[in-house]
Structure 1
């Protein structure tokens, strides 16, 4: 079997590599490619093959091998089948540090790109691993921690790219993963690191095999577990980051290739690592060949990273469904999911918390109404609101600032309510609407509508965003339905659908040739220029659905138990979970249709509320909704004044101010019972 896997992967790689040399802006015949390789002449076609296409294909081979071996090592070290350079945040961390270097230290970055990437990738991986519970962290918990860290780092990256658009203009396509090479310099830099790293780790294959028996068994056999883990993880990060430093963050190869090899029953690392390298190379070269196949079309060449996301996302869905077969209501992938995680030992009285939260919202709202190009005093704001202000003040407040503030408040409430429902439905304290792909689905829907129907007015964008969010959630629920809407399956399938949505967004941005700032601003979520139409669009949703979500209190509380317990108490679990999550999805899609892909509020607000009031749904729902309004109104205000007259999108501000709390939250929950 090892020989068959190696031979099959090698044959596939050779065929794909040869075919990739024929693809590009102009398709070349196989005879021309053979002639250029073995009898090169000073012809334009031969120069294109040997100087551009061949280096690109070799880079795909090296990067694919590096990412595949890195993923296999990460899975062995963490004993986590979902571990890879993508799920551990290595790609996002490396990309962020490269962007920082591009902006502030471009000269140093040109000389030490690899070191920048390694620093960012290693820091992100350590953060995810530590916050996910370390060696005791479950796969689902590591995956969620990686998703959250990736979202935080991506938000910071987006903010920097918008603020320094001229400096980072060329990084968007590279940030989606691109194997484009103009000469052999990239290959010359990468190959010693890749071959040297793989060769070095091959000397530890026996020690890596022993890790599968568990820490105690490995130590009893004379294994230095900590030393082996540290060495293997260091090599995996180096391999992943050397690829990122040249071709950008390309995801899912490190997850997909080792699992393909493991399906053949191969467990010993002496064969697993080199064969995974072959299959990783074949996958990436094949993905790049597909990407280049669009070069001559109206779409244009696609980022290779977007293609690998489409390949890898169905694999995660299959992996989640396969793992869930072991149990109808829980799986080995399911981690600790107590809904009490993050709560304080003693609850605060409910009524005072509501009063204080309301006063905070009113105070922040008045402060936001005062701030702007024309500063108004509190008395002027209040006088204008009650009808005693000047005509200028009425114009500024009633036509510009007030509708924007009210939209932010209502959307914040809706997102917080959606997150509260989602965390109860999937029984995971790290869940929010993003895990079922609503955010990326909304982005895809909005951009597809703009591209497919350019004659439509901007007022139709919310329709596309709403339909996209609902469609993404429908895919998740359809895949998870046969598993009884198992919380773990919902989460993993949601992460996969979100990754596919993000990849499709990158493709659409490249295809439509959108300028960087407007595209990123909408995708990051912005309350900029929101007026009465957006407020009236979201108000009916809040009036109708928020009371319904509150009324479901007892049923939502029962969902926090294991399925067997809830069924024993007379709750139709699958139907109730479907209703609760559908309500959460509709709320989130409505909010994102109004302001774009604002994230984190559905995660932050419920946890902050739970720490103060406990897990009773009806109380939690009210406090969480108030906190959501406070968060988005504050983010809108901070985004307006921080770099005035330029504005930072509210979604990015929420991510930045919420990052410290997320770090605290994940640290707090890593040992929760």
Structure 2
């Protein structure tokens, strides 16, 4: 019996085979042939259409003449010197990313694995940016080793922290999302602090196929063609990997060696693409699934046909981007693929959920990752954290470009003090500090509620798409009506966040608001939001530094209007979040157990999510896309006081206020007189704790 006709056994007992593609034996008929011919036809058509698109109006006939019989004319020189290299680079990059995705899915036995979800793009991007700042000459000569090193380290971190071979697809996808956020924060910090050294890197960082000559093609084609060719020679070994590990070994397969080589090739060709055109996402997720669903599960067909479809998808995305070049200017291909890939991921999640909905280990997990051996009494903790928060606030008020003595701070707060100090404290430092503290409390409360609602310890407003939706709402309003009052920005943020949440919940409703569905759809919506934000920043010609600062999360320049927006949010929604405690405690059980205890699971999950979304969107409106507070604070709270929601909720809120207030203070003093955005500081502080958290939870099998 051929490998394509065998029922694929899971590699381990703990990770079920949930691949949405059907095996070739299930009556696929002519579908594989149509997929092959369709890919070829689409590739040929899109290639020619791509060469006609741009600022200059060029016909297909002129394109053919320029290729077959070139002449020394402006149109022919433009086609052969600019458009043709761009299209060929799109073909190469699309093929590389598709094959990389197919290999990663085979090696990890994870249908959600790709260069995007495993953090390869983010890791390669970070190292290339760092190299362009600190070693520009070396980077110019050895850009590929830089990119490969970053991509490989990121993929290893995601795979290890996601549980390795025991990790579930959703957990590894979440791990990749969070590692990507951490790496992106480091990248944003480097760009903000070294704007002159990385001028133009923002457009490249969104994934752009722009080529001014054949240098990129000449550099990349030997690696990509050679890597794909080497993989095609090893298709029999890859087929055996689809069997269970015991069966593969019994057939004489060196499983570990094959996996290492296949993953190395996947990372290599993906990083070659990143080093030339920047991080372009979702190609490695879409193309292999299109091919697998046709019934082509044997790698002799899967690899070349995936390459074919990957090339067609990327060239098609770039063609779409250039259709609007007259009206909107140059659009990055990476943003277009994200817009295409987000709905695809949602559709893929719907297919996967049919197979995993009954499996509790995929859909949810324990909310506990351990606790202190001897817990500090709850009243003592509340008092200590409250005192710590006040101490940080006072310290922050004294610090800055101008040091203000503590006696003067206390005098001003009591209604007296020097007039200059009064102006600095009351007009600048105090409102900024209050916004940071209140936004940190709101984000921590939102994360605590969301982790319970989606029953996943890696839940976070940024992960499930709420923060991205709020950011889209704010930037859309700023671009559409630049002269609008700042008071309308919270309205736009709330509408954007609610729309993103509505998409997530409406898609997940038919699956009973299954935590797996909620999280996967949230990742997709978050990716689409990031793509829209990048498009808005580029097309509105915003200054990169302010845009990056906002997307990273910044408390710079916050004043009393933002304080008055945050105060009612905190005073109204935090008590509601605490009051929901008993119901939230029941959500941590399986849906069946919660329903048996009389809880209306979907309704309660919806109520909890609404409160969490409102908290997160109001925070995003006032401080931008600050990440990790909603992830770190609830976990630290549960480690301190246990999983009882009302107690952990209060501790989480206090910790959130402490974290963001501390980040604001550190960001103001670490590189004075410049400011480092608070969101970047929280990411830098949270990264070590995140690694510890995920390592510990993977050891417990969560």
- Identify the TM-score tier after normalising by the shorter chain: over 0.9
Tell me which of 266, 271, 277 is aligned to 2:301.
Answer: 271
In the alignment of these two chains, the number of paired residues is 671
Tell me which of 638, 654, 667 is aligned to 2:666.
Answer: 638
1:202, distance to aligned residue in structure 2 (A): 1.8
Q: 1:499 to 1:539 in 2, by over 3 A?
A: same
> Counterparts of 1:89-128 in structure 2 under 5 Å?
89-128=119-158
Tell me which of 77, 81, 84 is aligned to 1:47.
Answer: 77
User: Would the aligned equivalents of 1:177 and 1:249 in 2 still touch at CA under 8 Å?
Assistant: yes
Residue deviations 1:324-357 (CA, integer Å, cap 9, x gap): 12365547853x6101124345433211111211
Task: Give yes or no for the alignment of 1:539 onto 2:567.
Answer: yes
Tell me which of 361, 364, 370 is aligned to 2:398.
Answer: 370
CA distance in 1, matches of 2:599, 2:357: 16
CA distance in 2, matches of 1:599, 1:330: 30
Tell me which of 90, 103, 106 is aligned to 1:76.
Answer: 106
User: Would the aligned equivalents of 1:97 and 1:117 in 2 still touch at CA under 8 Å?
Assistant: yes
Partner of 2:266: 236
Residue deviations 1:373-399 (CA, integer Å, cap 9, x gap): 221222322232122422222222222
The 10-residue stretch of structure 1 (478-487 or 390-399) with the greater mean CA deviation from structure 2: 390-399
CA distance in 2, matches of 1:645, 1:48: 47
CA distance in 1, matches of 2:91, 2:142: 23
**What secondary structure, in the 3-state scheme, does the structure 1 residue paired with 2:463 have?**
helix
1:159, distance to aligned residue in structure 2 (A): 0.8
**What secondary structure, in the 3-state scheme, does the structure 1 residue paired with 2:672 have?**
coil
1:506, distance to aligned residue in structure 2 (A): 0.9
> Counterparts of 1:145-294 in structure 2 under 5 Å?
145-294=175-324
Partner of 1:397: 425
Partner of 1:455: 483
CA distance in 1, matches of 2:389, 2:251: 61
Partner of 1:18: 48
CA distance in 2, matches of 1:428, 1:343: 17
Residue deviations 1:457-484 (CA, integer Å, cap 9, x gap): 3332232222211111111111111111
> Counterparts of 1:464-479 in structure 2 under 5 Å?
464-479=492-507
Partner of 1:446: 474
The alignment yields a C-alpha RMSD, in angstroms, of 1.3
CA distance in 1, matches of 2:690, 2:552: 18
User: Would the aligned equivalents of 1:446 and 1:461 in 2 still touch at CA under 8 Å?
Assistant: yes
User: Would the aligned equivalents of 1:144 and 1:430 in 2 still touch at CA under 8 Å?
Assistant: yes
Q: 1:173 to 1:138 in 2, by over 3 A?
A: same
User: Would the aligned equivalents of 1:169 and 1:516 in 2 still touch at CA under 8 Å?
Assistant: no
Residue deviations 1:631-659 (CA, integer Å, cap 9, x gap): 00000000000001100111111111111
User: Would the aligned equivalents of 1:609 and 1:623 in 2 still touch at CA under 8 Å?
Assistant: yes
Tell me which of 482, 489, 506 is aligned to 2:517.
Answer: 489
CA distance in 2, matches of 1:459, 1:622: 29
Residue deviations 1:257-309 (CA, integer Å, cap 9, x gap): 00000111221111101110000000001001111111111x11210000000
The 10-residue stretch of structure 1 (469-478 or 459-468) with the greater mean CA deviation from structure 2: 459-468
User: Would the aligned equivalents of 2:132 and 2:197 in 1 still touch at CA under 8 Å?
Assistant: yes
Tell me which of 649, 670, 677 is aligned to 1:649.
Answer: 677
CA distance in 2, matches of 1:329, 1:427: 15
Task: Give yes or no for the alignment of 1:480 onto 2:512.
Answer: no
User: Would the aligned equivalents of 2:360 and 2:590 in 1 still touch at CA under 8 Å?
Assistant: no
Tell me which of 590, 600, 612 is aligned to 2:618.
Answer: 590
Task: Give yes or no for the alignment of 1:64 onto 2:94.
Answer: yes
CA distance in 2, matches of 1:471, 1:141: 25
Tell me which of 603, 610, 620 is aligned to 2:631.
Answer: 603
User: Would the aligned equivalents of 1:26 and 1:296 in 2 still touch at CA under 8 Å?
Assistant: no
**Structure 1: which 5+ runs fail to align?**
none
Partner of 2:346: 317
Residue deviations 1:599-641 (CA, integer Å, cap 9, x gap): 1100010011111111000000000000000000000000000
Residue deviations 1:168-219 (CA, integer Å, cap 9, x gap): 1210110000111111111111111011101111222112111122222211
> Counterparts of 1:331-370 in structure 2 under 5 Å?
333-334=362-363, 337-370=365-398
**What secondary structure, in the 3-state scheme, does the structure 2 residue paired with 1:588 have?**
helix
**What secondary structure, in the 3-state scheme, does the structure 2 residue paired with 1:436 have?**
coil
User: Would the aligned equivalents of 1:323 and 1:331 in 2 still touch at CA under 8 Å?
Assistant: no
CA distance in 2, matches of 1:316, 1:548: 33
Partner of 2:449: 421
TM-score relative to the length of structure 2 = 0.94
Residue deviations 1:476-498 (CA, integer Å, cap 9, x gap): 11111111111110000000001
CA distance in 2, matches of 1:117, 1:488: 32
The 10-residue stretch of structure 1 (393-402 or 90-99) with the greater mean CA deviation from structure 2: 393-402
User: Would the aligned equivalents of 1:293 and 1:301 in 2 still touch at CA under 8 Å?
Assistant: no
CA distance in 2, matches of 1:424, 1:471: 21
TM-score relative to the length of structure 1 = 0.98
CA distance in 2, matches of 1:611, 1:523: 30
CA distance in 2, matches of 1:296, 1:153: 34
1:521, distance to aligned residue in structure 2 (A): 1.0
